[in-house]
Amino acid sequence: MKRFNLLPGESLNGAVGRYHALALSPAFSSTANQLGLNNQVISPLRFLHGDDVKLDEIFHTSENEKCRYTNSLNQYLSPFLNINEQQYLNTSSGGSHLRISGVSNLNVRHWRWCIDCVEQDEAKYGIEYYHHQHQLPGVYHCYRHGIGLSGHCIQCGFHANKIQDLVLPPMNNACPNCAAWMPGYDGYFSKTMAGIENTSIWLSMNENALSLEILSDLLCKKIGLKKSELGTLSSNRLISSWHKSLANEFDNNALLSYFNNAKPYFGGVSSPLIRKARLRLSSGDPLIPLVHMIALQHQGIDLATVASSLNLETVG
């Protein structure tokens, strides 16, 4: 096969599906072995995986030197890692020893695509492919066309949690199992969710100087928590009343759409993920970005604004 290059916006691990389709090898396992992958189960929500370092070595091009950062979830994840953890993103381990909590609590964990992108990509590049911005948690619409993302068959329930179940988005948008048209997302979507969707896409596209230290400080300040007083009775009371206010005031249907462990909580809805100490301290296991975004949005903190003020500081 001639040199395999990533296409614009292509998902780094999703590209294994296209590589397999082009390699014409009968078994996905032989493609995975040929690429030297340790794990053959490739999910769209793969954070900090050692195989992505290998894929970067094979698929990067001179125009796309940092695909391990820009075409994976790394650039989107980075603001929610502490400075120490951020350094692992550029090492040969890719931070694979870090465990991200919350992935299994997301309701949407399958490969998704936009039908307009599929048509355009097929016309321009001769093949359809998975875009990494279509895979972000909390994102339900295409970053280019604004239409609902496809990936779940409403007729038979088919969806591909791993790339070998559907190596390319289907031509004619037909379900590979029952051949029905696979419609774009048309479920609950509020203004709050649109805010989180826009922020998620923005983070995945823009390099910034955000870190968990900065974000947890901002959040504590907004809640009225002093880091020196954490662990005292009064700060515990403050945290607990903040959990209750978020459960009552944050869009309950959004939380139910996002998480499979969202449950009634003091008259509202909450997920145990939102009550993790990691949001306020910058220690503990990393959490999926969506949880941080919910807490920050609830406190009126706009990440793009915070990021651009940091960039100005660096330049100034």
Q: How far is the CB of 175 from Zn ion (least distance, A)?
A: 3
Q: How far is the CB of 210 from Zn ion (least distance, A)?
A: 27
Q: At what angle do helices 50-59 and 15-23 cross, to 10 degrees?
A: 60
Is there binding between residue 165 and Zn ion (CB under 5 A)? no
| Distance of alpha carbon 74 from alpha carbon 70, whole angstroms | 7
Is there binding between residue 66 and Zn ion (CB under 5 A)? no
| Distance of alpha carbon 252 from alpha carbon 162, whole angstroms | 29
Is there binding between residue 117 and Zn ion (CB under 5 A)? yes
Is there binding between residue 130 and Zn ion (CB under 5 A)? no
- Residues numbered 243 to 302 that lie near Zn ion (CB under 5 A) are none
Q: How far is the CB of 11 from Zn ion (least distance, A)?
A: 14
Is there binding between residue 172 and Zn ion (CB under 5 A)? no
Q: Among the candidate windows 68-76, 176-184, 220-228, 242-250, which touches Zn ion by CB under 5 A?
A: 176-184
Pairing of strands 263-265, 268-270: antiparallel
- Tokens 């959040």 sit at which residue? 219
Q: What is the token pair recorded at 81? A: 């890692």
Is there binding between residue 178 and Zn ion (CB under 5 A)? yes
Instruction: Give whichever of 104 and 155 is closer to Zn ion, judged by the CB atom.
Output: 155
Instruction: Give whichever of 112 and 280 is closer to Zn ion, judged by the CB atom.
Output: 112
Q: Among the candidate windows 34-42, 74-82, 140-148, 252-260, which touches Zn ion by CB under 5 A?
A: 140-148
Q: Which of 101, 161, 173, 177 binds Zn ion (CB under 5 A)?
A: 177
Instruction: Give whichever of 142 and 279 is closer to Zn ion, judged by the CB atom.
Output: 142
Q: Which of 53, 55, 100, 114 binds Zn ion (CB under 5 A)?
A: 114
Instruction: Give whichever of 23 and 180 is closer to Zn ion, judged by the CB atom.
Output: 180
Is there binding between residue 155 and Zn ion (CB under 5 A)? yes
Q: Which of 144, 162, 243, 244 binds Zn ion (CB under 5 A)?
A: 144
Contacts of 78 (CB under 8 A, 6+ apart): 86, 89, 208, 210, 211
Is there binding between residue 116 and Zn ion (CB under 5 A)? yes
Distance, CA of 35 to chain centre: 24
Instruction: Give whichever of 78 and 135 is closer to Zn ion, judged by the CB atom.
Output: 135
Instruction: Give whichever of 54 and 144 is closer to Zn ion, judged by the CB atom.
Output: 144
Q: What is the token pair recorded at 229? A: 């007083």
Instruction: Give whichever of 47 and 129 is closer to Zn ion, judged by the CB atom.
Output: 129
Backbone φ and ψ for 213, nearest 5 degrees, come out as: -55, -45
Q: How far is the CB of 251 from Zn ion (least distance, A)?
A: 25
User: Which parts of this chain interact with Zn ion (CB under 5 A)?
Assistant: 114, 116-117, 142, 144-145, 153, 155-156, 158, 175, 177-178, 180
